[in-house]
Amino acid sequence: MRLSAVRVVVAFSMLLAVTAWGAELNLPDEAEGHVLPDVTVSAPSEPDFTTLPQRDLMARPYTESPGLETATSVVGRKEIEEMHAYSVVDAMKYLPGAWTETRGRKVKSFYSVRGQRYPYPGYLIDGAWFREFHEINYYLSAANFDRIEVLRSSSALLAGPGGMTGMINLVPRTYDERETRFEGLYGTHNTFRSDLTHGDVGVGYNYGVSAGYLHTDGPSNMNATENMTNLFGRFEYQLADDVAFSWSQFGLLGDRELMLAVPPADTPFITRVDQFDPMRTYVTVAKLRYEPTSESATEVLANYGGRRFSWERKNTFERLEEDYEYGTSVIQSQKLTENNTLRLGGLFNRWITPTGKRFYWGNPADIRTYSGVIVDDHDFGRLDTSIGYRYTREHWKEFGGFNVEGTAGSLRNVQVDDEWSDPLHTGNLGASYELTTDVSLFGNIGWGQIAARPGMLTQDGSDYRMPDTENRWKFDLGARRELERWGQASLTGFFVRQDNTAIVTNNTVTVNDEEVALFEEADRKNYGVELDLRSRRFENGLQFFFNATAMETERTRDGDWEDDEEVPNLILGGGVSYLIDRFEMALFANHLNEYENERFLPAGSAPVPLGDFTEINGVFTYHCDPMTDLYVKVDNITDDEYSTVAGYPHDGTQVYAGVVKRF
């Protein structure tokens, strides 16, 4: 049934893609225009949706392989404001292959694409790589970013050492004119949200500041109250004709109760009353850019992230969880000839937790990451090629909470001191080919290794150890058609082979009174097709987008291949917006078909079905004047009941009213 569904969707996706590709080719005369029933299509010079910036290795030295363009999605300022998205996770939920698992634990939401998990996709801010980010992405305000670039493929090379499971680059808001904007919202569960942003420009500089606040009581009697303040500041200054400096600062200050689970979750998750009060996070990124000529550019980045959570469990304990990281990276982009560009880069990151975190609380850690990359790009006219290699190695100065030597005994007492991990290697080869003025082909091949993340455990007989290093092959093949009078259509096929990957199980061990999920080692493969259609704004006010990801995921068990039922095989996303006079109606939908999981269930329980839902959200806006909008936002219009993680169901239809005022 799963496989036949994928075949149907693949066939349907290919039919839509072929239709989109041939729409203009079948016209007897393009001068007559592309006419839909009763809809005349406009042809603006720029699309109404956000695209990747033009490929420029001097202006953007961290640009990935040209073969990955159809495997990269962008959410821009227009889309964020149209959805009234709160967090960066909210803003990404309708992208191809997007899968958000929401629960009530410390890491509230895990976001992934193409079913890539353990580890989940990594995060960068303005090109700076952060080792720890999943505890803040669901609170980090989307209002503070110009665009969010999501590399859905696991073939990222220049983005950093975490690029083997996809990468998400958050590009901070930069102002090119004076602007002040206020947004306020109130609705279900006594939810209140406000955001005030301001930016301006001057001679050789621009700046932006923002302050936002969120409060919600959450579902009644579920220990789900949350309060969070988002602070943002950015300053950019042209120090000299060839030197520019930028600095971005984020602050998240607040408190949060950990929502209680419901059956069939394990009893501790149903009864434990936990909260973080206060929780504080600070993130800083500074960039220095030197471009002496049009043939040479150097960027130096420095970044810092600090997280401090005071965890309280009612009538049990109070403890502090603290960690911070800092790092630097440098990249040199140099044109060797008119058509050949060489890029060299290096990265250092140090992650420290003096208290330990989560289930390895009480065990300090100090992990240092060293990485270097070299990439050569050549432009053959219609054909652009790129070949690159990255080397990564970690120094485990200190880490505790699991057993890497195979000795029996209490896991929390095992300590790693002054050990080097095995070197990790990553290679990449990609190309794009301009078949015609509006049709391009893309291809990319990558290979790389992934080390087990801190805290992962696998059982080897009666002993526990970290899983071994994973090897991964990745293939992407895509095509894109620019439809001048319509929009853009792309079709991408992908295949990933993982050898010795870590897969979470329902077996647990107890560490510091916390149940820790064990992982098993298995081979895995994931393959599928993605369709992405995006229209321009038609003259009658209509625009839409639609995407579909149909995939199969298989794994080995006892040496035999079988379907991985923990990964959905069909993910749909889409939206339609209709603007008439001053009224605008926008509907957004995402569909995730059925999968299963045993996480948060009692040990030994059979997996339970999850997903299998279609969520439709709406935003209804009245544009009072160019400076004022009134809107109503309705989430889960059909009140569809579903869960993405066992024990944490969606809370049904939620209604909010809001206002946007510009000055």
Residue pair 94/574 in contact (Cβ under 8 Å)? The answer is yes
Please report which confidence band the pLDDT of residue 19 belongs to, taking 50, 70 and 90 as the band edges.
very low
Please report which confidence band the pLDDT of residue 145 belongs to, taking 50, 70 and 90 as the band edges.
very high
Q: Is the pLDDT of residue 35 over 50?
A: no
| Radius of gyration for the chain, computed over Cα atoms and rounded to the nearest angstrom | 25
Which pLDDT belongs to residue 469? 80
CA-based nearest residue to 65, from 388, 434, 342, 516: 388
Q: What is the DSSP string of 355-412?
A: S--GGGTT--EEEEEEEEEEEEEEE-SSEEEEEEEEEEEEEEEEEESS-SS---S-GG
**E strands in 413-567:** 415-420, 424-434, 439-450, 458-460, 463-465, 470-483, 487-511, 514-535, 542-557, 560-563
Please report which confidence band the pLDDT of residue 507 belongs to, taking 50, 70 and 90 as the band edges.
low
Which pLDDT belongs to residue 462? 60
Residue pair 186/192 in contact (Cβ under 8 Å)? The answer is yes
The length of the chain in residues reads 663
Find all residues with CB under 8 Å of 249, minimum gap 6, and list them: 231, 232, 233, 234, 282, 283, 284
139-143, 482-486, 617-621: least confidently modelled range: 482-486
Burial of residue 32 (CB within 10 Å: 0-12, 13-18, 19+) is exposed
CA-based nearest residue to 231, from 255, 248, 206: 248
CA 96 to CA 528: how far, in whole Å?
A: 12
DSSP 3-state assignment of 536? coil
Which pLDDT belongs to residue 420? 87
3-state secondary structure string across 104-138: CCCCCEEEEECCCCCCCCEEEECCEEECCCCCCCC
Which pLDDT belongs to residue 506? 58
Cross-strand partners of 200: 207
Residue 563: both structure tokens together: 């379907």
pTM above 0.85, yes or no: yes
CA-based nearest residue to 124, from 310, 308, 248: 248
Q: What is the mean pLDDT of residues 66-70?
A: 97
Which pLDDT belongs to residue 14? 42
Residue 258: both structure tokens together: 């950990």
Tokens 């992982």 locate to 519
Domain with 189 in it: what CATH number? Answer: 2.40.170.20
Q: Is the pLDDT of residue 454 over 70?
A: no
CA 360 to CA 402: how far, in whole Å?
A: 8
459-468, 494-503, 587-596: least confidently modelled range: 459-468
Helix/strand/coil percent split, the chain, to 5: 10, 60, 35
Tokens 């909008």 locate to 629
Residue pair 262/301 in contact (Cβ under 8 Å)? The answer is no
81-90, 102-111, 537-546: least confidently modelled range: 102-111
Residue 385: both structure tokens together: 């090629």
Q: What is the mean pLDDT of residues 114-127?
A: 89
The sign one gets for the Cα dihedral 634, 635, 637, 641 is negative
Which pLDDT belongs to residue 47? 65
Q: What is the mean pLDDT of residues 52-69?
A: 95
Question: Which has more confidence, 36 or 284?
Answer: 284
Long-range contacts of 431-435 (CB under 8 A, 24+ apart): 431/65, 431/66, 431/67, 431/383, 431/384, 431/385, 431/386, 432/66, 432/67, 432/69, 432/383, 432/384, 433/382, 433/383, 433/384, 434/382, 434/383, 435/382
Which pLDDT belongs to residue 639? 94
Q: What is the mean pLDDT of residues 427-453?
A: 93
Give the rounded distance of the alpha carbon of 48 from its chain centre: 22
Q: What is the mean pLDDT of residues 213-234?
A: 96
| Tally of domains in the chain | 1
- pLDDT above 70 covers a percentage of the chain that reads 86
Cβ-count burial 595-611 (b if 16+ within 10 Å, e if not):
bbbbbbbeeeeeebebb
Which pLDDT belongs to residue 5? 43
Locate all alpha helices (DSSP H) within 246-317, ordered by sequence.
267-271
Apex 490 CA angle, 165 and 380, nearest 5: 85
CA 186 to CA 193: how far, in whole Å?
A: 6
Which pLDDT belongs to residue 452? 72
**E strands in 217-293:** 226-240, 243-258, 274-293
Please report which confidence band the pLDDT of residue 257 belongs to, taking 50, 70 and 90 as the band edges.
very high
Which pLDDT belongs to residue 643? 94
Which pLDDT belongs to residue 417? 79
Average pLDDT for the chain: 87
Q: Is the pLDDT of residue 561 over 80?
A: yes
CA 117 to CA 138: how far, in whole Å?
A: 17
pLDDT digits (tens, 9 = 90+) for 574-586: 999 999 999 999 9
Which pLDDT belongs to residue 559? 83
pLDDT digits (tens, 9 = 90+) for 180-204: 999 999 999 999 999 999 999 999 9
Q: Is the pLDDT of residue 375 over 60?
A: yes
Please report which confidence band the pLDDT of residue 29 belongs to, taking 50, 70 and 90 as the band edges.
very low
Q: Is the pLDDT of residue 413 over 80?
A: no
Q: Is the pLDDT of residue 83 over 90?
A: yes
Burial of residue 380 (CB within 10 Å: 0-12, 13-18, 19+) is exposed
Q: Which residue range is the domain that position 350 belongs to?
A: 2-662
Q: Is the pLDDT of residue 493 over 70?
A: yes
